[in-house]
Amino acid sequence: MKDVNSVNHLVEFLPSIERRRAAGIKERNKNKEIQDKAHEDSIISKLASKQDLLYGKKSFFLMGEEGGNAIPQVRALSEFSYSVEVPRLSVIDAVGFSEMITVFRVEKKALK
Amino acid sequence: MKIILKEYLGSLRERGDLDALVLPNLLSEIGLRVLNTPMLGTRQNGVDIAAVGRIKGEDETRYLYLFCIKAGNVSRRDWSTGVQAVRQELDEIRDVYLRSNVAREHADLPVKICLCCGGELEETVIVNWAGYSDRNTTEKISYEEWNGDRLADLMMRCLLAREILDEEPRRNFQKAVAMVNEPDACYEYAGAFLRCLLLGECGSRREQLLRLRQSFICLHAVMAWSVEADNLESSYRVSELGVLLCWDLIRGIEQKKALNKHENSLILIFDQFLRLYLAAAEMYLEKTAYSHSDKLHALSLAVRSREAVDVNLAMFELLGRMAVQGIWACLLSRSSEVDKIGVARPLKDRADRILDTMVSVINSNPTLCSPIRDDHMIEVALVLYFAQLTEAEPRFLPWLKGMADRTTFALISNSQYPICLTDYSDLLMHPASTEQSYLDEVCSGSVLYPYLYFWMQYISDEKEIKEFTARLKIKIPDCTYQAWFPDEDSDDLIWRGETYHGICVTDLSPLYGHEKLMETLSQAFQVCTAISEISAVKIGLIPLFLTACRHYRLPVPPNFWFLRV
């Protein structure tokens, strides 16, 4: 990490604004694809209806009770996420990393 | 505009910037004839620059101007402390220089002794200066203060005035200075003002010199601002462009023993452009490669991008710049002129240092084994050319062999194989598809594979060569393998960035075998002989031609592939 931090001041290799923008658009499109696919394949989305909240951080809804009474409810939204680390080698040595993965895949397990 | 110039002059801290580069050009333009420029290590008796003449719009008679130059501000300490104290130098001018160094034809002229600095005289010194100049002024000798403000005024009046520098280049220069932190934009604006000044029609010799001086001063100002902003990318790129465009303007000079005064002035200015470029390159490499080459992945991570393509492009760019700088150092160290002034050894040491650093950079940044652009052949060929010049090619052959394997592996595994498209958005999406039609489109031609195959004959075994050609045959059977040679139009066009010239030699497919490739090349060598007509090559400035190839993305011609057969 010491070596990695030692180059923090180098600005000479930074991609230009246009390139960063293009990479940003690519990442945004990729994220959208992931979201669409996740929604499409989600079991929950098949069971429940979907409402898109555009504002606020709490949701108001009427909960039906026996006898036809509706009780107002406010529920705070909660967030859950899942993340994985992207291997650094896929960025700094894309082909070498792909070669390594391929070798691991085709290698036979050693017999015990 | 004046504020930009003042800041620029004030920022010139190094010896050599103000006295060797800026001031002689300025003095020549304001009407003086420069008699001598500063030399390191020689006794100057207090005078850094001597000039004679009449300043346009100021002087009514001719004067002998003697300049004592200091970078930045002149402080109390500069005034009286140390061997190079201002006061001591002024005394030397009066007591020694004026008695023994003035040529007979200038002996009767009135003398102006000028204390010149890029910044200003600090408050604590002003009184000393006033007292000194008052006490020593005589009928024949007078004293003047030339601070940053006066220099900027003279520049504005004689070099960059509206009557002699159009509004458009002036605006582009200001934008280039403002954008030094965005190298693409800075390069674009600097390119615009340089092209405007250097590529237009020059009415007279006088105008030609004026334009070169204007360009040089502007370029130097952009560089100084770039160094001040600690972003050396802009300074590298604009100084490289400057030297190429300057060459375009002066390349018509015929080779002869005795050059006339105008031709000498042109050569002198080109020399300044070249020095500026080599200094910018050295500063850039000092900050980047020399300092961090041995740290695993460090330079790759300095790109700070999540896209592999950004890392790949940045590392090949760095490698190409190192190779070009190495080639310059190596060939300059062999020049007899350089040998005379005793800098051959430092240049040779520099070449060796670059060589070692290149090996470290390749070892520490594995992306350099898998070029993503087909035209990265330029960088690979430059590295190998430099390696051959220094007889160090065995140090790079394993890398070349690894590259042949990696690039074709990327092809069969649909990873980031080299493509002939150069648009960033295409590279970013690559590989956009696994379809054969996509492969055919992005690998429709290649200069990289013939080059790699050419070298494989000397470094790989039969099995490796077979595998290499088999992979190409399976994945890109319709690719046009080729090489580029300059033609008779190239010398007129290459320096200004035109790429529509030259001869493309095809039939270099690795699928036809090495003998066929060599035969085609050998016939091409006999027919495509315009390389020897390239102005820079003709006078032995091969590095300049290779710099142009790299800068404008033209493949390195086969004439420079292999030095020893």
- The tokens of B432 are what? 């956009």
Q: A64 pLDDT exceeds 90?
A: no
Chunk chain B into consecutive blocks of 10 residues (it has 565) and report each block's average pLDDT, rounded to whole numbers: 80 72 86 79 77 90 92 87 85 89 89 91 90 92 92 84 80 92 95 92 83 91 90 96 96 80 90 94 96 95 95 98 97 79 86 97 97 97 97 95 96 95 96 95 96 94 96 96 96 96 95 94 95 94 97 97 77
Q: Which amino acid is at B111?
A: V
Give residues 353 to 412 of B whose Cβ lies within 8 Å of A: 365-367, 369-370, 406-407, 409-410
What pLDDT does residue B331 have?
A: 92
Euclidean distance between CA atoms B39 and B16, whole angstroms:
9
Query: What is the count of residue pairs from A and B with beta carbons less than 8 Å apart?
Result: 126
Burial classification of residue A20, based on how many CB atoms lie within 10 Å of its CB (0-12 exposed, 13-18 middle, 19 or more buried): middle
- Is B498 touching A (CB cutoff 8 A)? no
**What is the predicted pLDDT for the residue at B469?**
97
Top-confidence residue, B18 or A100:
A100
Cβ–Cβ below 8 Å for A10 and B302: yes
Strand partners, A58: A76
The whole-number pLDDT of residue B207 equals 85
Pick from A16, A92, A94: CB nearest B415: A94
- Spatial separation of the C-alpha atoms in residues A95 and B424, rounded to whole Å: 19
| DSSP 8-class letter at B214 | H
CA dist., res. B551 & res. B545, Å (int): 10
ipTM of the complex: 0.81
Residue B86: CB atoms within 10 Å: 26
Contact assignment for A7 to B232 by CB distance below 8 Å = no
> Which pLDDT score is estimated for B254?
77
Note whether A6 and B292 are within 8 A (CB): yes
Greater confidence (B186 vs A3) lies with: B186
A12 to B233: CB separation less than 8 angstroms, yes or no: yes
Write out the two tokens for B337: 């002129």
pLDDT of residue B231: 93
Q: Which residues of B touch A26 (CB under 8 A)?
A: 307, 428-429
Q: Do the bridges between strand B32-36 and strand B63-70 make them parallel or antiparallel, or are there none, so unpaired?
A: unpaired
Measured CA distances, B205 to B17, B257, B299 (Å): 26, 20, 47
d(CA A55, nearest CA chain B) in Å: 31
pLDDT-derived band at A65 (thresholds 50, 70, 90) equals: confident
Question: Is this structure's pTM higher than 0.80?
Answer: yes
Q: What is the 3-state secondary structure (H, E, C) of B393-457?
A: HHHCHHHHHHHHHHHHHHHHCCCCCCECCCCHHHHHHCCCCCCHHHHHHHCCEECHHHHHHHHHH
Peptide bond into B431 cis (omega under 30): yes
Q: Which residues of B touch A103 (CB under 8 A)?
A: none
List the one residue out of B201, B209, B202, B210 whose CA is nearest residue B262.
B209
Model confidence at A44, in pLDDT bands (50, 70, 90)? Answer: confident
Query: Do residues B510 and B449 lie in contact, with contact meaning Cβ atoms separated by under 8 Å?
Result: yes
pLDDT confidence band for A85 (50 / 70 / 90)? confident
> Is residue B181 within 8 Å of B233, Cβ to Cβ?
no
pLDDT at B454: 96
B379 touches B558 (CB < 8 A): no
B chain contacts of residue A30, beta-carbon cutoff 8 Å: none
Q: Tell me, what's the pLDDT at B19?
A: 79
Cα gap B220→B526, rounded to integer Å: 43
Nearest Cα residue in chain A from B295: A3
Residues of B numbered 225-244 whose beta carbons fall under 8 angstroms of chain A's beta carbons: which are they?
A: 230-233
Residue ranges of chain A whose CB lies within 8 Å of a chain B CB: 3-4, 6-20, 22-23, 26-27, 86, 88, 90-96, 98-99, 102
Rounded Cα distance, B512 and B479, in Å: 13
User: In the structure, what pLDDT confidence band is assigned to residue A112 with cuts at 50, 70 and 90?
Assistant: low
Chain B segment 272-291 residues within 8 A of A by beta carbon are: 284, 287-288
Residue B317's closest chain A neighbor by CA?
Answer: A13
Are the CB atoms for B316 and B376 separated by under 8 Å?
A: yes
CA–chain centroid gap for B74, Å, is 31
